[in-house]
Amino acid sequence: MIERFDFILPTKIRYGAGAINLLGQELRNSQAKKIMIITDRGIVKAGLLSKLEDILNYENLDYIIFDEIEANPKDHNVEKCAKVARENDVDTFLAFGGGSPMDAAKGAAVIARQGGRIKDYQGKDKIGKNCMPLITIPTTAGTGSEVTFSSVITDSERNFKFTVKSPYIAARTAILDPELTISVPPLITASTGIDALTHAIEGYTANCTEPIAEAIGLYAVEYIASSISRAVGNGNDLEARDRMMMGSLMGGLSFSHSDVASVHCMAEALGSFYDAPHGLCNSILLPYVMEYNLPECEYKYARIARAMGIDENDDRRAAEKGIKHIKKLSEEIGLPGLSSLEIDSDDFEKLAEMSVENGSNASNPKKMNKETYIELFIKAYEDRR
């Protein structure tokens, strides 16, 4: 029997090349009066903000810009953002950028209305309904944060990433326009793309998954695997960008209704400890966690391999080939191994403890503990030095 589950999708999704032009209509419909664009300096530097400003000016809408969000957004970024919003009587948030601005905006949407510090809301279902209305516009194809129920924030005192998770934190509307990703540089295209692949794989295989999340996750693998090399090789390939953005959206939908698992537990530990790019951390760890999980996931990993185009009838062999394929793919698209982060192997014990503490540790299909995490960190480190 299928276990009881809820499938909630609070976010209206507007998808397609040129969809950014629907923003004016969305803001008019929501009767927004004072908007805050939440973004980062990289987006400003890439010249992307002018598109948004043109639309807001055309609609004669009052807005301010908050562009102080850092990568792996810090608790103080979120708290300052909420403070500025309150001081300026903002009534609508517009998150524009990759996962960092979107996650920060989701966190600020909570505390701007409910008060306190963002870490007060750490964990599952700790927030109330009353959040600042939020529109998300992703500019990377990776996190799926535009539709997920999570905001991942770094506790800057502990260098520890924590998650605030609730359907109430989700955006009211997500506008996905693949043309906005044309300017993403190759290495960020590669790392964010593998992040999306990891969401799809973990969403499909987490031990709390359900059939809808499984279906979306598996289909996302097909989209991402068939287009990631093209998008990295030629950023102007709009068809590849389109497929990556759809794959990223589906990966986000999948894990949000299931969970991520040990790849993310380790990647979030690495990412917060060394302030390293999230997608890169996932790409480094994904094949090693898959090798470890293989005995519990043979059938699903075989289906993932076939979704990536591997022609093999035997499940065990297909699964093994799939894992090798993922390792090779990351190398081919230019993603380095663990030693590239200039980490100290003495830190593995601390990183393993942080991985165990992660809220998604229990969702891994095969049980993990501190010792198994240390083993996987060592394996990833030794294998690609």
Residues within the interface to ligand NAD (CB under 6 A): 40, 42-43, 46, 48, 71-73, 97-100, 103, 139-140, 142-145, 148, 150-152, 180-181, 183-184, 188, 192, 195, 278-279
| Closer residue to ligand NAD in complex, CB, 144/337 | 144
Residues 6 or more apart in contact with residue 105 via CB below 8 angstroms: 38, 81, 93, 94, 95, 134, 136
The CA angle 316-320-326, to the nearest 5 degrees, is 145
Pull the structure tokens for residue 183. Answer: 């300017």
Q: Report CA-CA distances (Å) from 268 to 99, 340, 354.
A: 13, 17, 9
d(CA 30, CA 276): 37
Pull the structure tokens for residue 40. Answer: 């980062």
Give min distance, CB of 119 to ligand NAD, in A: 15
DSSP 93-148: EEEEESHHHHHHHHHHHHHHHH-S-GGGG-EES-S-S----EEEEESSSS--TTT-
**Main-chain dihedrals φ then ψ at residue 338, nearest 5 degrees:** -60, -35
Give min distance, CB of 184 to ligand NAD, in A: 4
Give min distance, CB of 20 to ligand NAD, in A: 12
| Closer residue to ligand NAD in complex, CB, 199/327 | 199
Pull the structure tokens for residue 74. Answer: 């810090």
Give min distance, CB of 370 to ligand NAD, in A: 22
Sheet holding 123-124, edge to edge: 123-124, 160-165, 150-155
**Cβ pair 261, 297 in contact under 8 A:** no
| Closer residue to ligand NAD in complex, CB, 97/337 | 97
Give min distance, CB of 251 to ligand NAD, in A: 9
d(CA 220, CA 212): 12
| Closer residue to ligand NAD in complex, CB, 216/310 | 216
**Cβ pair 104, 153 in contact under 8 A:** yes
| Closer residue to ligand NAD in complex, CB, 99/337 | 99
3-state secondary structure 205-239: HCCCCCHHHHHHHHHHHHHHHHHHHHHHHCCCCHH
Give min distance, CB of 118 to ligand NAD, in A: 13
SS3 357: helix
Give min distance, CB of 244 to ligand NAD, in A: 12
Give min distance, CB of 290 to ligand NAD, in A: 18
Pull the structure tokens for residue 349. Answer: 């014990």
Give min distance, CB of 140 to ligand NAD, in A: 4
Which residue bears the tokens 């969305």?
Answer: 26
The DSSP letter of residue 44 is H
| Closer residue to ligand NAD in complex, CB, 159/183 | 183
The widest CA-to-CA distance across the chain, in whole angstroms, is 62
| Closer residue to ligand NAD in complex, CB, 47/87 | 47
| Closer residue to ligand NAD in complex, CB, 172/321 | 172
| Closer residue to ligand NAD in complex, CB, 64/71 | 71
DSSP 23-71: HHHHHHHHT--EEEEE--HHHHHTT-HHHHHHHHHHTT-EEEEE--PPS
| Closer residue to ligand NAD in complex, CB, 65/294 | 65
Give min distance, CB of 138 to ligand NAD, in A: 7
